[in-house]
């Protein structure tokens, strides 16, 4: 059957993380079994508020060392805004991990479900977000935070766009577009941030010349938000810098039905991490009402990434089963509150596990 067994890290994180991450592990176990692949070996690792309590830091060295040895991992959300100082002022856990492992590509699909509650039905787009620089000052430096306060009343940050990082993310976007509808939209703000986002736009267009089958257009970030709300179903692949991508993907997730259904994967050429697009949702944590779909589908993306890397047909089948089981569960009317349903987080996950045997 499959070519290898997989060791995957599990980091529950904060807020709704301890609810949606175990739900995803259960679904993956069921899908892998249904696909006839070998069981996944899970390795739980400390992260977030509980790691501050147990290890004195949100991302312990032992967690980074362990992640170095596994095939990939599921990262729960973190509520770093609620950490005590000095932890709150440090680079947050997902930023730390993305930076440590050079996970430069954040791939964020937004796809409406049949029978779901999309604002724009038919939405099926992917945001390809550059993950290492741009206007996220806390991760675009080798050392230091990229922000400073010369006086208590003056705050300065810098943004960075490089040709190398833009070329790298552009290739990701064009390769992805070739496997889809062959259209790439560049989102920038080159009428104001002429040099930085202008460089981003121009370099993506240059790289696009190597992909003559892909059509390219571009929008300013403000116009892109309008077009997303009006006609999200007309987009295919959107490529953009770090902060624009973060904001746009929350919007795209909601337009497709709920932020709670928007998955994502963070990858380099050699590593991948599944991470829902949304945050830790502290307002609904501990109530078993969160939507686990984003985390479940992020985990399926990780399986697909591993399957492609290892040419593992059984694992591709497992990823197909996860996605089909989620589709089936929603189509049969089982959804959580954010999708206007009544299922609990754990109840929804149980329904998906059951559905894996009917795919």
Q: What are the residue numbers of the active site? A: 136, 189, 222, 246, 250
Strands 183-188 and 237-240, by their bridges, are: parallel
| Smallest separation, CB 210 to ligand ATP (Å) | 34
Q: Which is nearer to ligand ATP, 147 or 269 (CB)?
A: 147
Contacts with ligand ATP by CB under 6 A: the residue count is 15
Question: For residues 294 and 262, is the Cβ–Cβ distance under 8 A?
Answer: yes
Q: Which residue of the chain is nearest ligand ATP when measured via CB?
A: 279
Q: Which helix (H) or strand (E) holds 318?
A: helix 313-331
Q: Which secondary-structure segment (H or E) carries 41?
A: strand 41-44
Q: Which of residues 47-106 bind ligand ATP (CB under 6 A)?
A: 77
H or E element that contains 215: strand 215-220
Decide whether 247 or 314 has the Cβ nearer to ligand ATP: 247
Joined tokens for residue 57: 């830091």
Contact 104, 164 (CB under 8 A): no
Q: What are the two backbone dihedrals, phi and then psi, of residue 112, each rounded to the nearest 5 degrees?
A: -75, 145
Among 139, 278, 304, 317, binds ligand ATP (CB under 6 A): 278
Contact region with ligand ATP (CB under 6 A), list: 99-107, 148-156, 265-273, 276-284: 276-284
Which of 267, 280, 298, 299 binds ligand ATP (CB under 6 A)? It is 280
Shortest distance, position 245 Cβ to ligand ATP, whole Å: 12
Binding pattern for the stretch 233-272 against ligand ATP, x by CB under 6 A and - elsewhere: -----------------x--------xx------------
**Rounded-to-integer distance, Cα 80 and Cα 48, Å:** 8
* Interface residue with ligand ATP, options 279, 316, 328, 355 (CB under 6 A): 279
Residues 304-343 that bind ligand ATP (CB under 6 A): 338
Dist. CA 15–CA 30, nearest whole Å? 25
Q: What are phi and psi of 143, to 5 degrees?
A: -140, 150
- Among 41-49, 107-115, 277-285, 301-309, the segment contacting ligand ATP (CB under 6 A): 277-285
Q: Which long-range contacts (CB under 8 A, 24 or more apart) does 219-227 make?
A: 219/185, 219/186, 219/187, 219/188, 220/187, 220/188, 220/189, 220/190, 220/191, 221/187, 221/188, 221/189, 221/247, 221/248, 222/189, 224/185, 224/187, 224/248, 225/251
127 vs 290, beta carbon nearer ligand ATP: 290
Q: Closest CB to ligand ATP among 132 and 291? A: 291
Q: Which is nearer to ligand ATP, 85 or 283 (CB)?
A: 283
In the range 281-310, which residues lie near ligand ATP by CB under 6 A? 281, 283-284, 290-291, 294
């Amino acid at each position: 059957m499959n070519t290898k067994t997989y060791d995957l890290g599990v980091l529950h994180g904060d807020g709704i993380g301890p609810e949606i991450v175990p739900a995803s592990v259960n679904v993956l176990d069921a899908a892998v079994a249904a696909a006839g692949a070998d069981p996944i070996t899970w390795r739980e690792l400390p992260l977030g508020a509980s790691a501050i309590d147990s290890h004195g830091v949100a991302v312990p060295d032992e967690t980074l060392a362990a992640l170095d040895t596994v095939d990939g991992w599921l990262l729960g959300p973190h509520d770093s805004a609620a950490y005590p100082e000095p932890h709150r002022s440090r680079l947050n856990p997902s930023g730390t991990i993305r930076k440590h492992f050079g996970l430069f590509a954040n791939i964020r699909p937004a796809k409406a479900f049949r029978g779901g509650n999309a604002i724009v039905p038919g939405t099926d787009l992917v945001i390809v977000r550059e993950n290492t620089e741009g206007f996220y000052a806390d991760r675009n430096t080798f050392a230091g935070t990229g922000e400073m306060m010369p006086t208590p009343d003056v705050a300065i940050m810098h943004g960075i766009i490089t040709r190398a990082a833009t070329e790298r993310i552009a290739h990701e976007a064009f390769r992805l577009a070739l496997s889809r509808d062959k259209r790439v939209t560049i989102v920038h703000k080159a009428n104001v941030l002429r040099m930085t986002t202008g460089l981003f736009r121009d370099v993506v267009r240059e790289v696009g010349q190597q992909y003559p089958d892909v059509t390219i257009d571009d929008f300013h970030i403000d116009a892109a938000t309008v077009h997303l709300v009006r006609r999200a179903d007309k987009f295919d692949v959107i490529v953009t810098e770090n902060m624009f991508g973060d904001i746009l993907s929350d919007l795209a997730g909601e337009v497709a039905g709920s932020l709670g259904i928007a998955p994502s994967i963070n990858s380099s050429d050699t590593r991948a991490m599944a991470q829902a697009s949304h945050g830790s949702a502290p307002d609904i944590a501990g109530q078993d009402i969160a939507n686990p779909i984003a985390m479940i589908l992020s985990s399926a993306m990780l399986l697909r990434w591993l399957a492609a890397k290892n040419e593992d047909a059984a694992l591709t089948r497992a990823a197909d089963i996860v996605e089909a089981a989620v589709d089936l569960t929603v189509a049969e009317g089982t959804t959580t509150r954010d999708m206007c349903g009544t299922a609990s987080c754990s109840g929804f996950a149980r329904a998906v596990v059951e559905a894996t045997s009917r795919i």
